[in-house]
Every structure is written in structure tokens, then in C-alpha cells.
Amino acid sequence: MRLKGKTALITGGSEGIGKATALLFCKEGAKVGIIARTEKNLKKVAKKAKGPGEISIYPGDVSDEEEVKTIVEDFYSDFKKIDILFNNAGILRAGTVVTTSSDVWDETMNINVKGVYLTSKYVVPLMAKGGGGSIINNSSVLGMVGMENCMAYNASKGAIRQITRSMALDHAGDNIRVNSICPGYIKTKMDVEFMGNPHDAEEQLDKIAADMIPLVRRAEPLEVAQSVLFLASDESKYMTGSDLVIDGGWTTL
């Protein structure tokens, strides 16, 4: 078990990459706390937990400072330490700089960027108190390259890469490693919703991936979760401030 005796807090843990990571961490022996706004979805994940670990749910909004502070304190009270933080919560909304409304811009930045800031703000002191740990921030290949009609998302994911570097430098002395993952096309509902939920969305996305991805397919959430596991474990103990790209070769083109 690669995470035996470890505790992990995961934002956006009710679906997609967050869900896959929570279930994998549980199998690897971790005591996992998952955060999302919808309690019933969190409960569904917790019921699927298998292995020697456990999954606890903490409903809340990562963009709300008081809610984040309370969740982190509750998790620490429950498990007495925080070894791993996976800042995974995020949203994707369509729009150019002209068509993106102020509300969409604010919502995107509040969840994708402020959420990373707030959760880290309250976790880092407790993680340092326990002797250190690993923080993984979910950026995207769209923090590295551009894509049309998702300006706010692109901006938010670029910001996460820079937050990662800043945190890595600021907290190396606390024995806290901070890295980001940069996933490409992953089989989650985010891209389907971005397309407007057409009936053939999955087929369209598979064709897009086949046309532009060297590995000619989209990744399963578990394939990303396995990379998060590597960064969370001691196997990556000399890595900090790095971006781990999981994109099937997209950014090599």
C-alpha cells in the first residue's frame, strides 16, 4: 500500500478525476476526505470505497472562505494530521474575452483559482505542523497551450501553474512538496457540458481526440488518478514545483 497511514483531502471529490483519485487513495490505504458542494454525490462516492482506507465526506464550497476553514479544521480534528492535499475542484465555461460575462469570469476564478488559494491557505500550516506533506494542484494542458472559446478557463489554469511554483518555493522549508498535474482530454462530464450536452457528445469527443492526440484517445479518470497517486506518495519525494503532463502527447505537437 503506497499511502498506508496517510491522510488526504480532495476538493471536487464527487466526480471525475477527484472521485477516481479518492477511490484509488482508499485502496492504497489512505484516510480520505472529499469536498464538493452536493452532499448526495459525495455520499455516492463514499459508498463505493474499497480497500483498507476510508472515505469521509465534507460538503462545502471551495470558494467560500469560512466553509473551507471549517472543513479543514473538521478534517484535522477527525484525523489529527493532513499529509496530502489534492486541489482538484474546477469548472469550465465557454466564452471569449468579449463574450465571457463578468459573472462567468468571477465564478471561474473563484472556484478554479481562489479555491486552490483558500484550501492551501488553511491546510499548509497544519501540514507543516505534522512535518510536511504533498500538495497536488489540478491545472490543465490549457494552462500550457491555448484553446479557443474558453478564455477564463485558460487563464485560471495558467494561474494554477504559477501558484504551484510559488507554493513550492515558499514551503520547501516546511518539507511540503507542491506539484501540478496538467491533464488533456479526459473522459469526464466537463467536456460534454462544455459542448452543450449533445446526444452524440462522447462520439464527437472521441473523434476530436483521435484527430489531435498522438495516443489517439481520451484518458480514463483513473489514468490521471494514478499520476496523482505518484505525486502524493514518497515515490516522488524529490519533486516539487513541477508540472506533470498527462495528455497523450497533445503538447508535443
Pick the CATH number of 7-184+220-247 from 3.50.50.60, 3.40.50.720, 1.10.3720.10, 3.40.50.2300: 3.40.50.720
Domain ranges of the chain: 7-184+220-247, 187-218
pLDDT of residue 242: 98
Q: Is the dihedral of CA 135, 166, 224, 97 positive or negative?
A: positive
The candidate with the shortest Cα–Cα distance to 49, out of 23, 68, 24, 74, is 23
pLDDT of residue 194: 87
- Tell me the pTM: 0.97
pLDDT of residue 227: 98
Task: Compute the distance between CA of residue 221 and CA of residue 99 in angstroms, rounded to an integer.
Answer: 30
Which residue is listed with cell 498522438? 214
Work out the number of other CB atoms within 10 angstroms of the CB of residue 51: 16
Q: Which residues are catalytic?
A: 153
**Predicted confidence pLDDT, tens digits, the chain (253 residues):** 999 999 999 999 999 999 999 999 999 999 999 999 999 999 999 999 999 999 999 999 999 999 999 999 999 999 999 999 999 999 999 999 999 999 999 999 999 999 999 999 999 999 999 999 999 999 999 999 999 999 999 999 999 999 999 999 999 999 999 999 999 999 999 989 988 899 999 999 999 999 999 999 999 999 999 999 999 999 999 999 999 999 999 999 8
